[in-house]
Amino acid sequence: MDLESKIVVITGAGSGIGAATATLFGEHGAQVVVSDLNMKSAQRVVEGIKKTNGSALAVQANVTQFKEVEALVAKTVNEFGRVDVMVNNAGIGGKNQKKTAEHSHDDWHDVIAVNQTGVFYCMQVALQQMMKQGHGNIVNVASLAGLKPSGYNLSYSASKYAVVGMTKSAALEYGRKNIRINAVCPGYTNSVLLDRLLSSRPDMGDTLKRLIPMDRFGEPHEIAGAIAWLASDDSKYITGQTITLDGGTSLQ
Ligand SMILES: NC(=O)c1ccc[n+]([C@@H]2O[C@H](COP(=O)([O-])OP(=O)(O)OC[C@H]3O[C@@H](n4cnc5c(N)ncnc54)[C@H](O)[C@@H]3O)[C@@H](O)[C@H]2O)c1
């Protein structure tokens, strides 16, 4: 997998899947822009990459704010000259697990703002830059919840179905412009996001594991591997697709 010298921006890269993806790109010789709302965690990831002689830069950006997304891409271009790969990974879950009739409006607005509007803003600004440079590659982090219904999860489900839809629609628009756009759809993956979900219902860990034929949650580095592959030329005839990484959960 040749990622050497690629300029890669990753949102939500201070933790979980984003941090594992940043680390993997760093190991493969990419120049990694580690972006997160939380600058301290982004800096920790950058230090880790630098310890293994990788190249990385931490940039704070809230993906719900269009101007901050514009500044993130502008800073990357100022520093490195272009954006080869944009990984739109920042995402949150709802705070409450309630059925639709009781779904919290705060959860709705918060989750849609980060997971859906954030991905739209990041795709839009990255595409403007990629059109100028004549090439680009976008990988969006959707979810199994964007492919299959999941109860007690309306805003998250809506946002992730939207990410899959935006991935396919934009891929259709930019195929002729040398820009590929794909998505990964992880199932339950060990991270802060999953820990939060499980802490709200202590019995839930075992219940969820029973749904997974491989009998375990995914690990962030396993999702990172697919993101890096989609970002590399090894997948160069693939666009508008989703890769599901769920230990077989979607089979039933
Ligand atoms: N963990 C899972 O089970 C799972 C499953 C499917 C999909 N996903 C998706 O994977 C992605 C990464 O999640 P994770 O599990 O690694 O979670 P995580 O909580 O470990 O990491 C998410 C990161 O996003 C950052 N973030 C949150 N809001 C932001 C904002 N407005 N702007 C910029 N950064 C922001 C957080 O600070 C955090 O560092 C998310 O899109 C999530 O929906 C996770």
**pLDDT band at 238; cut points 50, 70, 90:** very high
Chain CA centroid to CA 215, Å: 24
Question: Both tokens of residue 245?
Answer: 């990484």
CATH of the domain at 147: 3.40.50.720
Q: Which atom of ligand 1 is nearest to the CA of 113?
A: 31
Express each pLDDT in 19-40 by its tens digit: 999 999 999 999 999 999 999 9
Residue 200 pLDDT greater than 90, yes or no: no
Tokens 């509007």 found at: 117
136, 36, 9: which is closest to 91 by C-alpha?
36
Report if residue 2 sits inside a domain.
no
| Structural domain count, the chain | 1
Of the listed 156, 161, 174, 188, which one is catalytic?
Answer: 156
pLDDT of residue 83: 98
Name the percent of the chain lying above pLDDT 90: 93
The answer to whether the CB of 92 is under 6 A from ligand 1 is yes
39, 57, 63: which is closest to 159 by C-alpha?
63
Task: Name the residue of 17, 67, 116, 161 whose CB sits within 8 Å of the most ligand 1 atoms, as the mutation to test its pocket.
Answer: 17
Express each pLDDT in 141-190 by its tens digit: 999 999 999 999 999 999 999 999 999 999 999 999 999 999 999 999 99
pLDDT of residue 198: 87
Report if residue 161 sits inside a domain.
yes
Report if residue 78 sits inside a domain.
yes
Report if residue 152 sits inside a domain.
yes
Give mean pLDDT, residues 214-241: 98
Is position 161 annotated as part of the catalytic site?
Answer: no
CA dist 3 and 87 (Å) reads 14
The CA–CA distances, whole Å, from 53 to 23, 34, 56 equal 11, 15, 10
**pLDDT band at 197; cut points 50, 70, 90:** confident
The answer to whether the CB of 97 is under 6 A from ligand 1 is no
Question: Both tokens of residue 248?
Answer: 């077989």
Give yes or no for a contact between 33 and 72, defined as CB atoms under 8 angstroms apart.
yes
CA-closest residue to ligand 1 atom 32:
62
Task: Name the residue of 164, 191, 246 whose CB sits within 8 Å of the most ligand 1 atoms, as the mutation to test its pocket.
Answer: 191
CA-closest residue to ligand 1 atom 20:
16
Report if residue 250 sits inside a domain.
no
Ligand 1 centre from 80 Cα, in Å?
Answer: 26
pTM attached to this predicted model? 0.98
CA atoms within 13 A on the CB side of 215: 0
Q: Which atom of ligand 1 is nearest to the CA of 217?
A: 3
Report if residue 247 sits inside a domain.
no
Q: Which domain holds residue 36?
A: 7-240
Report if residue 1 sits inside a domain.
no
pLDDT of residue 119: 99
Give yes or no for a contact between 216 and 222, defined as CB atoms under 8 angstroms apart.
no
Mean pLDDT value across the chain: 97
pLDDT of residue 133: 98
Residue 48 pLDDT greater than 90, yes or no: yes
Express each pLDDT in 56-99 by its tens digit: 999 999 999 999 999 999 999 999 999 999 999 999 999 998 99
Chain CA centroid to CA 107, Å: 19
Report if residue 252 sits inside a domain.
no
CA dist 151 and 189 (Å) reads 18
Ligand 1 centre from 94 Cα, in Å?
Answer: 12
